[in-house]
Structure 1
Amino acid sequence: MTADELCFLTAREMADLVRTGQVSAVELVRAHLDRIDAVNPAVNAIVTLVPEQALADAARADEARSAGRPLGPLHGIPVAHKDTHRTAGIRTTYGSRIFADHVPDDDELVVTRIRAAGAITIGKTNVPEFAAGSHTYNEVFGLTRNPYALDRSAGGSSGGAAAALACGMQPLADGNDMGGSLRNPASFCNVVGLRPTAGRVPQYPSVLPWSSLTVPGPMARSVDDLALLLSVIAGPDPRCPISLADDPRTLDGPLEVDLHGVRVAWAPDLGGAVALDPAVADVLARQVGVLEGLGCVVVEDHPDLSGADEVFRTLRAWQFQLAYGELLDAHRDLVKPSLAANIEAGRELRAEDVARAEGMRGELWERMHAFFAGYDVLVAAVSPVPPFDARLEYPCLPAAGDGGAAGGAGYLDWMRLAYWISATGCPALSVPAGFSGDGLPVGMQIVGPPGADRRVLEIGHMFETSTGHGRRRPPVVDATAAAVAGGESR
């Protein structure tokens, strides 16, 4: 097995090789560091690297195995953490010049759990400034490029994580999702990302511990690996008041199930949330037959999501002004204009605006609960567009199309398919659904009722197994391998 082959094994396979001594943790980490060295300059996914620390931790992991000590489920697996997640002793910038040299003293909870499971921290993945927006660029580290087309966006805010996964620079990744930050980059980079049910993965620390708008979650190259990571980072924590008490081990284990009779509501545009690009619509239309071939009963239907736009935009602005208002006052010249506008929008809110949004959110929850009485899952597009021109901050959508789907040229408009689901509190999985005519990835969003994370994973796993879309490697990987081989032949 070559080092490149090793880097594209599943996380479970890597863990088994380390656990049985067939591959050392040092060998595994070194293989990934070599891959980062070869591929990362093209995509700029991993922005802070700690190779000496990673190799030292890997050596200790090998010593623990040799000594017969208990090993965690991620023992020896290299992971780079999202640069909005605090990491003790490792630079954490949040994609902001304000924190360009910031080194935290402690780990965020999700990082603590991953490292406690035996994973080896190798660095940090790129994000947009304070994770605001679904296109990964900032003035500290620059732009993360899509490995399937280097002139296109990798999505965001977990764009660095998604690109690193696609390129074999890490097998698992952590992230968080407010308006699509785990799902949009997964869709753009042909990997998987889950926005879990709020409280499934506890968030600590948090300026709004009772809020369920932003949730931590996992990313991976397969649903099976994603379930493994989810079982590690899920579970209750007394410092997070909305954390669920469910046993996280129930989230892992074999995902093979019989889908005959599973009721699927098919709504690619969520009933008119936004106009779909024809390339996205064409790819998704072909997936109806896949689902039906698996035994699902697919019906064109959608829930009443009226008010979701106001709910999300209001609560997002309120959260942004609370989290970043003081930073804007102190460092306005260092804050990107779109983020500053979000913060100012929060400051303009009145008490009745927030109260109205919370009331509408309660009504939305009730309507979703009633809708899922008739369906097991809702299936939609993740993004209305394929990966867009990386020189843009965001894509401008076409005017309203047939059927009344909304267009828009605003900062958030193109993200409606993801953030309308965020407003409902439902778990949502982005899984590879195929490619446009010019080879750009398109993701499919599988949404379940609150608490049905395991069911969403089972359906996603059966879908990806039957299609194999996620096994297609990006051109930048093949190009790098060819360049390395050419250099060796000379």
Structure 2
Amino acid sequence: MIRNRQVSPVEVVGAALARIERSQPTLNAFITVAAEPAMAAAREAEAAITHGYRLGPLHGVPVAVKDLVPTSGIRTTWGSLIFKDHVPDTDAEVVARLKRAGAIVVGKTTTPEFGQQCLTEAPLFGRTRNAWVADRSSGGSSGGSAVAVAAGLVPIAVATDGGGSTRIPAACNGVVGFKQGLGLVPQEYAQDGFGNISYITPMTRTVYDTALMLEVMAGPDSRDPLSVARGKPNFVTAANAEEPLTSLRVCWRARLGNSAVAREVLSACESALSALAGLGAEITELSAPFENPERVWSVVNGAYRLAQFGHHLQEHREIMCPTFVRQMDRISGCSAAELYDAMFQRTRLYRQVQSWFEACDIVATPTLSRSAVPIDQDFFGPIDIDGEPVENIRAGWYPYTMPFNLTGNPAISLPAGFDSAGLPLAIQLIAPIGADAALLRAAAAFERACP
């Protein structure tokens, strides 16, 4: 519509900013709204159309960026009071690529402090509410990006995923959350370029929009050693392919180290699998061995974050999120031997998961064991699944997401209906490393069958 001048970038960006302003008191999806620079960029985008300049694939499209990702001239706080006035002078490479493609950054979305929990809340901004039901959590840590997309504040957003931080809030808010394979999208500012477990990701309402964002975001960067050898398939072509899935082998696994799954989640996933079968896919159960990575995750992720941010504890403990402080205190006694033992287990997990794909092309799981938890959920308390308390929110609610940050496999969360409370439910599809485009093809086919 922008290209054929049915609507102007100024109108589109102005409408997005107006929606953000109206929604902010209720949803609280943004930490910073960049109204002035966004409107200036929109006017430049309109002038480019008027003068007949070459337009990028995202020309004039508003985009929100999670506040863990640096943005030049726009405040980047990492969700922390420590950095409440921090304004970077350079963009992350992903943001720079989106801008070169014509996208216009309208603001920074909420994240828990340093992205270190699955509930989007922090002393800096408060709580971000679910886009569907106000007394439920948005999930996290990319809760602001998911809510911004789900509520129609922006059509696309940049998120991150360090253990499920894209897929968890996508599932909670009924949008598409894609975690690409390791190295596909560069993260040039990652402090550990070789052992990174966090990904910069797209957050969208449709698989096609995810593919379009990946076309722009993906590609090597010499500053990220994991990205330099990665090819770049045509994601849009994959998402647009409408061939039947007759050769696709899908293996279903209802649990990954957890015991409890809500009945409505299982029912929604069974319906989703039936839809895939109707498209020609062969559905079987996956019973291959799985070494529960709870301990390896706690050590690898905890030690990584402690090295990144632990030095702030001595001076700023009183203004930091109590949840983050407690997590850092827990890991502070970890030894070097324990860390390397966890890294060895990570390698074993990688090899174990890759062996699954000898029998199938895609593994399917729930994204979460239940729908969005209450807005005041205690991060260290039990969650409720079908009336029963389940300890450990990470192992009990989202055991399905974190393993694939450790292994590097691409994974996507897709909307799969609603529960009886009107909350979104989701199914997760996981593919072999290097099969990102094939995963998008299957996801798009499912989306067309279950719009």
Distance 1:411 1:267, change over 3 A: closer
* Paired residue type of 1:133: Q
Q: 2:384·2:390 contact (CA, 8 Å) conserved in 1?
A: yes
Q: Take 2:439 and 2:252, find their aligned partners in 1: how far apart are those partners?
A: 15
Distance 1:137 1:26, change over 3 A: same
Q: Secondary structure at the match of 2:141?
A: coil
Q: Take 1:307 and 1:42, find their aligned partners in 2: how far apart are those partners?
A: 39
Matched, 1:148 2:166: no
Matched, 1:268 2:251: no
Q: Take 1:467 and 1:86, find their aligned partners in 2: how far apart are those partners?
A: 36
Q: Take 1:348 and 1:400, find their aligned partners in 2: how far apart are those partners?
A: 36
* Residue aligning to 1:359: 344
53, 57, 63: which is aligned to 1:69? 53
Q: 2:370·2:385 contact (CA, 8 Å) conserved in 1?
A: no
Matched, 1:128 2:112: yes
434, 439, 442: which is aligned to 1:459? 442
275, 280, 294: which is aligned to 1:295? 280
Q: Secondary structure at the match of 1:445?
A: strand
* Paired residue type of 1:421: F
**CA apart distance, 1:244:** 4.6
**1:25-40 correspondence to structure 2 within 5 Å:** 25-40=9-24
Distance 1:112 1:206, change over 3 A: same
Q: 1:133·1:156 contact (CA, 8 Å) conserved in 2?
A: yes
| RMSD of aligned Cα (Å) | 2.0
Q: 2:123·2:321 contact (CA, 8 Å) conserved in 1?
A: no
217, 222, 232: which is aligned to 1:233? 217
What percent of counterpart residues are identical? 36
* Residue aligning to 1:167: 151
Q: 2:262·2:386 contact (CA, 8 Å) conserved in 1?
A: no
Matched, 1:221 2:201: no
Q: 1:311·1:423 contact (CA, 8 Å) conserved in 2?
A: no
310, 321, 324: which is aligned to 1:336? 321
* Residue aligning to 1:384: 369
* Paired residue type of 2:45: A
304, 317, 326: which is aligned to 2:289? 304
Q: 2:70·2:76 contact (CA, 8 Å) conserved in 1?
A: yes
Distance 1:407 1:393, change over 3 A: closer
* Paired residue type of 2:58: L
Q: 1:266·1:378 contact (CA, 8 Å) conserved in 2?
A: yes
Q: Deviations over 1:396-421 (max 9, x none)?
A: 2469999xxx9423566432221123
Q: Take 2:111 and 2:49, find their aligned partners in 1: how far apart are those partners?
A: 35
Q: Take 2:384 and 2:436, find their aligned partners in 1: how far apart are those partners?
A: 33
* Residue aligning to 1:432: 415
Q: Take 1:143 and 1:261, find their aligned partners in 2: how far apart are those partners?
A: 45
* Residue aligning to 2:78: 94
* Paired residue type of 1:414: W
**CA apart distance, 1:242:** 0.7
Q: Take 1:349 and 1:243, find their aligned partners in 2: how far apart are those partners?
A: 30
Distance 1:449 1:55, change over 3 A: same
415, 419, 431: which is aligned to 2:398? 415
**CA apart distance, 1:53:** 1.4
**CA apart distance, 1:256:** 2.6
* Paired residue type of 1:291: L
Q: Take 1:325 and 1:82, find their aligned partners in 2: how far apart are those partners?
A: 22
Q: 1:399·1:408 contact (CA, 8 Å) conserved in 2?
A: no
Q: Secondary structure at the match of 1:378?
A: strand
**CA apart distance, 1:378:** 0.4
* Residue aligning to 2:270: 285
Q: Secondary structure at the match of 2:311?
A: helix
More helix by share: 1
50, 61, 67: which is aligned to 1:83? 67
**CA apart distance, 1:381:** 0.7
Q: Deviations over 1:208-236 (max 9, x none)?
A: 11123111111100001001001111100
Which contiguous aligned blocks of 4+ residues in structure 1 show a shift greater than 4 angstroms?
398-402, 410-413
* Residue aligning to 2:123: 139
Q: 2:197·2:405 contact (CA, 8 Å) conserved in 1?
A: yes
**CA apart distance, 1:338:** 2.3
* Residue aligning to 2:194: 210
Q: Take 1:147 and 1:83, find their aligned partners in 2: how far apart are those partners?
A: 19
Stretch of structure 1 that moved more, 52-61 or 415-424: 415-424
TM (norm. structure 2) is 0.95
Q: Take 1:293 and 1:410, find their aligned partners in 2: how far apart are those partners?
A: 34
28, 45, 50: which is aligned to 1:44? 28
* Residue aligning to 2:330: 345
Q: Secondary structure at the match of 1:431?
A: strand
**Structure 2, unaligned stretches of length 5 or more?**
none
Q: Deviations over 1:305-347 (max 9, x none)?
A: 2042222111101101111111112211122232123223333
Q: 1:265·1:300 contact (CA, 8 Å) conserved in 2?
A: yes
* Paired residue type of 1:441: P
Distance 1:87 1:189, change over 3 A: same
Q: Take 1:249 and 1:287, find their aligned partners in 2: how far apart are those partners?
A: 27
Q: 2:162·2:199 contact (CA, 8 Å) conserved in 1?
A: yes
* Residue aligning to 2:5: 21
Q: Secondary structure at the match of 2:289?
A: coil
Q: 1:314·1:357 contact (CA, 8 Å) conserved in 2?
A: yes
* Residue aligning to 1:9: none
Q: Secondary structure at the match of 2:359?
A: coil
Q: Take 2:394 and 2:284, find their aligned partners in 1: how far apart are those partners?
A: 32
Q: 2:172·2:423 contact (CA, 8 Å) conserved in 1?
A: yes
Matched, 1:313 2:329: no
* Paired residue type of 1:378: V
**CA apart distance, 1:384:** 0.9
Q: Secondary structure at the match of 2:382?
A: coil
* Paired residue type of 1:63: A
TM (norm. structure 1) is 0.87
Q: Secondary structure at the match of 1:219?
A: strand
Q: 1:427·1:447 contact (CA, 8 Å) conserved in 2?
A: yes
**Structure 1, unaligned stretches of length 5 or more?**
1-16, 469-490
